[in-house]
Amino acid sequence: MDYAKLYEPGQLNLLFNKHTFFICIAHGVYTSFALFFIPYGAFYNTAGEDGKHIADYQSFAVTVATSLVIVVSVQIALDTSYWTAINRFFILGSIAVYFAILFAMHSDGIFVIFPNHFPFVGNARNSLSQISVWLVILLTTVVSVMPVITFRFLKEDLNPTLTDQVRKLQKARRKQKPLQNYMRRVYRRNSRRSAYAFSHQEGFGELITSGKNITMHNSISWIENLRKKTAETVNSFSSDRTVKL
C-alpha cells in the first residue's frame, strides 16, 4: 500500500480499453506480416550452402514457426519486470520443448509409426543446419521486436507512467542501499575502534591527585595566599581608620 495510485489504472479500466485493443491488433498484424514476408522473400528462388533448393514448403514452415517461438519468447522477456527461477524455467523450457517436438516430428521413429502424417523426415535438421536460415530467423526477430522496444523507450523517457516512476525509484533505492550499509559498517567499525582506543588511554586520575591543576604563586599554597590577602585587607582598613581619627 505504499503506492496506492498504482491501483487506479485497473479501477479506471485503463489497462484494457478500445485504444489498447486496437494497438494490440495493429501490433499483431505487423508481426504477422514480418513473420511471413521476411522468410518468404529470403527463400524466394534461393539455394542453400550445399547448392540445393531450400524454398520448399516444409523448410519455410520450420523457419516461420521457429521465428514465431523466438519472437514470442523475447516479447515475454520484455514484459517481465521481475525475474525468478520459475520465469526462467518456463520461458527457456518452452523453447526447449518446441525444439524437442520439432525434431521428434521430423524423426525416423515418428515416420515409421505414422508414415502418412509425418513424411518430412530430417527436414528440421537440414533446415536448421543452414546458416542462412538462422540469419533469416534473426532478421525476423529484430524486425518484429524493434518497434516495441523503440516505442517503450520513447514512452518511458518522454511520458513515463506511475509504474515506470515507481520502478525507477525502487532501482535507485536498491543501488543506494548497499552503499548505505557499507557506510554504516565503516562508521560502526570506527566507533568501536575509537572506544577501544579511548578505554586504553591514560586517564586524569594522576593529574587530579598530583595537584598540578591548582594555580601556584611563588611556591605558596592557595590557602596561604588567601590568608595573606585577608591580613593585608584588614591592616589597610585599620590604617585608613586611624588616619581619619
pLDDT surpasses 50 at 245: no
Classify each residue of 5-37 as buried b or exposed e, where b means 16 or more C-beta atoms within 10 Å of its C-beta. eeeeeeeeeeeeeeeeeeeeeeeeeebeebbee
Q: Is 207 domain-assigned?
A: no
Q: How many domains does the chain have?
A: 3
Let me know whether 93 and 173 are in one domain: no
Same domain, 90 and 172: no
- The answer to whether residues 66 and 127 belong to one domain is yes
Q: Tell me, yes or no, whether 129 lies in a domain.
A: yes
- Claim to verify: residue 16 and residue 91 sit in the same structural domain: yes
Asked if the structure places residue 193 within a domain, the reply is yes
Domain shared by 240 and 154, yes or no: no
Give 180-189 pLDDT, tens digit per residue.
Answer: 666 666 556 6
Digit-coded pLDDT (tens) for 220-242: 555 666 667 666 765 665 555 44
For the record, the C-alpha cell of 209 comes out as 591527585
Together in a domain, 98 and 167: no
Q: Do residues 82 and 74 make contact, with C-beta atoms less than 8 angstroms apart?
A: no
Q: Let me know whether 221 and 184 are in one domain.
A: no
Q: pTM for the complete prediction?
A: 0.62
Alpha-carbon gap, residue 27 to 71, rounded angstroms: 12
User: Do 126 and 25 sit in the same domain of this protein?
Assistant: yes
Polymer length in residues for the chain: 245
Q: Determine phi and psi for 39, rounding to 5 degrees.
A: -65, -35
Q: Are residues 64 and 113 in the same domain?
A: yes
Output the pLDDT for position 217. Answer: 46
Contact status, residue 71 vs residue 145, Cβ threshold 8 Å: yes
pLDDT attached to residue 243: 43
Residues 117 and 189 in one domain: no
Residue 44 domain-assigned (yes or no): yes
Q: Domain range for residue 176?
A: 163-201
74 domain residue, yes or no: yes
Q: What is the pLDDT of residues 103-145, one digit of tens each?
A: 998 888 888 888 888 888 888 888 888 888 999 999 999 999 9
